[in-house]
Amino acid sequence: MTSDDIPVTVEQIGAALVALGVYEGNNTPVEHAERAAQFASPDVYRLRLLNTLLGAVQGQAKLADEAEEDGEDLFTAWLEQLNGAGAGDDPVRQISFLGWQVRRVGIPLFLLANDPDTGAIVDAAAKAAEALHIMLGVIGTLEEADPAVDFVNIINQGGMLRAGRELLVTALDNTDTALDTFK
């Protein structure tokens, strides 16, 4: 999204992918229309392109993070991500953005944890990620809620916190199980 929340076009996404060297094709409207026809909707195609771009950029950011040794410089650089997402000066948007990131990490962990061969440590990480996602959701909900109007929604957050706590307890239990193998 641009700073005014107007979605970028598939051609703009394609241009960014071309610049990063991860797009094969001519990046023309006709080409994108043909590729989009292979998906359930043009929005699904756009989503796939954006996630390809996100992965390419995150891969580059990971390389840059690994090369940087100064923690303060890393912290300042990471804040640029919040600024780029339009959440730099708004704590509610920051929490929402962080919750989205945790959810993106948590889903693959959840899928890995469903494989019995991965063990207790992966399951603990998946449960902890899900708990963090819930907690960030509670924070966001409470920050945006109007106590005069959203009383029931505010009260329901107690149940969400209990669910998050239960996930953390399970994560700790799984961690203890994993630690038992090191005895």
Q: Report the percentage of the chain scoring pLDDT > 70.
A: 98
**One domain, residues 38 and 99:** no
Domain holding 35, by residue range, is 1-67
Least confident of 42-46, 122-126, 149-153, 174-178: 149-153
| Contact residues for 120 (Cβ-Cβ < 8 A; gap 6+) | 174, 175, 177, 178
137-175 pLDDT, tens digit per residue, is: 999 999 988 888 888 989 999 999 999 999 999 999 999
Helices (H), 37-150: 42-67, 71-84, 91-113, 120-144
Residues 107 and 61 in one domain: no
Please tell me the predicted confidence (pLDDT) of residue 2: 45
Q: How confident is the model at residue 1 (pLDDT cuts 50, 70, 90)?
A: very low
Say yes or no: 89 and 101 in one domain: yes
Answer yes or no: do 43 and 97 share one domain. no
Final residue belonging to a domain, choices 13, 47, 67 = 67
Tokens of 163: 């669910």
Please answer whether residues 18 and 52 qualify as being in contact, where contact means their C-beta atoms are separated by less than 8 angstroms. no
Residues 91 and 103 in one domain: yes
Q: Cβ(102)–Cβ(86) under 8 Å?
A: no
Same domain, 89 and 130: yes
Instruction: Judge if 84 and 146 occupy the same domain.
Output: yes
Encoded amino acid at 156, one letter: N
Round to whole Å and give the CA distance between 39 and 37.
5
Residues 11 and 91 in one domain: no
Query: Same domain, yes or no, for 77 and 166?
Result: yes
**Whether residue 149 sits in one domain with residue 62:** no
Task: Categorize the per-residue pLDDT at 37 as very low, low, confident or very high, splitting at 50, 70 and 90.
Answer: very high
71 falls in which pLDDT band (50, 70, 90)? confident
Same-domain status, 30 and 81: no
- As for how many domains the chain has, the answer is 2
